[in-house]
Amino acid sequence: MGIGISRPKTGLTTSELKLFADETHFTADQVLSIFHHFRQLSAIGEDDGVIDLGEFCCAIGMDGSNELSRQIFRVFDTNGDGVLNFREYLNGLSVLGLGSLDEKVKLAFRIYDIDGDGQISREELAQLVEASLQGHGSTRRVVNSASLIDETFRQADVNHNGFIDFSEFRQLAVRQPAMLASLTVEPQRLAHITGGGGEATREVTELRLGRSDTGMDTLGQQEEITPME
């Protein structure tokens, strides 16, 4: 049985620290710092030792009604109980902050594949691209969002079946790693919560995911923006 936090805890045992460090990209000291960060988040609403959607959105700096934030939360919530325990939060944060390209591609694909059928449709891609721009408070507009989707599918949908499967998605991400920017924790914010040596800060640190404030001719290529007519 995995280690989960079902009730508020004030610390982690040595064995828990080692286990969590072994299965993530964090050191034991960083795990302890993130635990204190997690405890602060979990106490924003009810101090129940888990993070709900609203508390999670406080961490990533997005609105709970935004589909991208809701989908990231669902992917983090591996046991599907509607809340994040510390292990789920830590593992997701490890990938967003320090994960390899392959780890981030796998996570990103699960996020974009909203219905979980193993492929990304045009509708799913359009829904999350729009949510990404809205969720980060973008004040700039994509020249033509339909053209963005068309160009992404032109490059990624190699077998021309109208969907992007994992292999096709990975090939696109390898060519254009910038497409994962909106699913990456900004390094300075990650450093802030992992560099405290286990000391809890007075205020909750907002992690905030990477911004996508510029337009793109595909998910990963940026171009000069002019307002839509």
% of the chain with per-residue pLDDT over 90 = 50
The CA-atom distances, in angstroms, between 177 and each of 38, 52, 95, 152, 167 are: 29, 30, 15, 13, 15
Q: Are 210 and 219 in contact (CB under 8 A)?
A: no
> CB atoms < 10 A from the CB of 49, how many?
18
Q: Is the pLDDT confidence value at 135 over 80?
A: no
Task: Flag whether 46 is in a domain.
Answer: yes
Please give the helix or strand (H or E) that residue 156 lies within, else none: helix 145-156
Task: Flag whether 1 is in a domain.
Answer: no
Model pLDDT, residue 34: 93
> Sorting pLDDT into bands at 50, 70 and 90, what band is 220?
low
Task: Flag whether 52 is in a domain.
Answer: yes
Model pLDDT, residue 18: 96
Least confident range from 39-48, 104-113, 219-228: namely 219-228
> 120 pairs with which residues across the strands?
164
What is the number of structural domains in the chain?
A: 1
Model pLDDT, residue 90: 96
Q: What is the CATH number of the domain that holds 159?
A: 1.10.238.10
Q: Are 130 and 182 in contact (CB under 8 A)?
A: no
Task: Flag whether 164 is in a domain.
Answer: yes
* Two structure tokens written together for 86: 């510390």
Model pLDDT, residue 7: 52
Task: Flag whether 69 is in a domain.
Answer: yes
The rounded distance, in Å, linking the Cα atoms of 219 and 182 is 10
| Helix/strand/coil for 119 | strand
Domain that holds residue 177: 14-194
Model pLDDT, residue 88: 97
Query: Which tens digit of pLDDT belongs to each residue from 87-103?
Result: 999 999 999 989 999 99
Task: Flag whether 206 is in a domain.
Answer: no
Task: Flag whether 214 is in a domain.
Answer: no
Task: Flag whether 135 is in a domain.
Answer: yes
